[in-house]
Amino acid sequence: MLDWRWDFTWEILPRLLVATGNTLLAAGLGYAIAVVLGLVLALAQRTPFTPLTVVVRETVEFVRSTPLVLQIFFVFYVGPQFGIRLSPWTAGMIAIGLHYAAYLSEVYRGGLESVPRGQWEAAKSLNLSTGRTYFRVILPQALPPSLAGMGNYLVGIFKDTPMLSVIGVAELMHTANAIGSETYRFLEPFTLVGVIFLLISLPTAAAIRLFEAWTRRKLGMS
């Protein structure tokens, strides 16, 4: 039954901690890509050029509605089929970055939509260029309502990094699996993985909630 071996636990812990570093790196990089790409996708849906908006819209819907793990396989294996070899890390970053860019573009869209019409009209009456309008007037106002969603997806991307294990990225889940296969002991590695995830995601989620409340206060609850 409950046959927990502490000596084994301490033995594997360093290896798991190194893998945690990889996990955090993957999550961080993926999130950085998603934040920037997501904004591009959101803005692309607001151009007057209809074919572009439609294509982007459908692509975003497609990426959001299909499993990330399948997208990871797709990116990793399709490249070689056409002669492009991608390392697991590169393929993983592209897939996860694109997937979360789609989610974040929806968050940005919501934030942009929440900016009152009057702001656009005021900018136009002052004859501001589109670029200036977005940069100085609209985006700063679209940001606070978007922070909640952005925070959620930061935690989300961290929790999705185990999917990268399926193409061999040496993150936490992959390492735990490897330890399990080598030693035939799954109890300690898998439980530790769960604990490590909780130790990182719960405080992060709490910090994000506090941050949300702080920004709301700073803006006078608007």
Partner 1 sequence: MSYIEFLSQYGDRIVSGTLVTMALTVLSALLAVAIAVAAGLMRMAPNMAVRGVATVYIEIFRGTSLLVQLYWIFFVLPLFGITLEKFTAGFVAVGMNLGAYGAELVRGAILSVPRGQWEAATALNMSPAKRMRRVILPQAVLIMLPSWGNLLIELLKGTALVALISVTDLMFQVKQINGTTFMSAEAFGTALVIYYVLARFMITPFMRWLERFMTRKMGRA
Q: How far is the CB of 142 from partner 1 (least distance, A)?
A: 21
Among 91, 138, 163, 169, binds partner 1 (CB under 8 A): 163
Our CB check for partner 1 shows the closer of 111 and 133 to be 111
Distance CA 102, CA 12 (A): 37
Pick from 149, 154, 148, 190: nearest CA to 27:
154
Per-position DSSP letters for 70-116, written without gaps between them? HHHHHHHHHHHHTT----HHHHHHHHHHHHHHHHHHHHHHHHHHTS-
Our CB check for partner 1 shows the closer of 99 and 150 to be 99
Could you tell me which stretch among 6-14, 127-135, 141-149, 161-169 binds partner 1 (CB under 8 A)? 161-169
Residue 98 binding partner 1, by CB under 8 A: no
Question: Angle at CA 132, nearest 5°, toward 128 and 137?
Answer: 90
Torsion angle of alpha carbons 171, 172, 176, 179, nearest 10°? 50
Our CB check for partner 1 shows the closer of 100 and 197 to be 197
Torsion angle of alpha carbons 192, 193, 195, 201, nearest 10°? 160
Binding string, residues 16-55; x marks residues near partner 1 by CB under 8 A = ----------------------------------------
Q: How far is the CB of 105 from partner 1 (least distance, A)?
A: 15
According to DSSP H, which parts of the chain are helical? 6-44, 50-65, 68-81, 88-113, 117-125, 130-132, 139-160, 172-183, 187-218
Could you tell me which stretch among 11-19, 49-57, 90-98, 196-204 binds partner 1 (CB under 8 A)? 196-204
Our CB check for partner 1 shows the closer of 121 and 182 to be 182
Name every residue whose Cβ is closer than 8 Å to that of residue 54 and which is 6 or more positions away in sequence: none
Q: How many residues bind partner 1 (CB under 8 A)?
A: 41
Our CB check for partner 1 shows the closer of 130 and 191 to be 191
Q: Enumerate binding residues for partner 1 (CB under 8 A).
A: 1-3, 61-62, 64-71, 73-74, 77-78, 80-82, 159-163, 165-166, 173, 177, 180, 186-187, 190-191, 193-194, 197-198, 201-202, 205
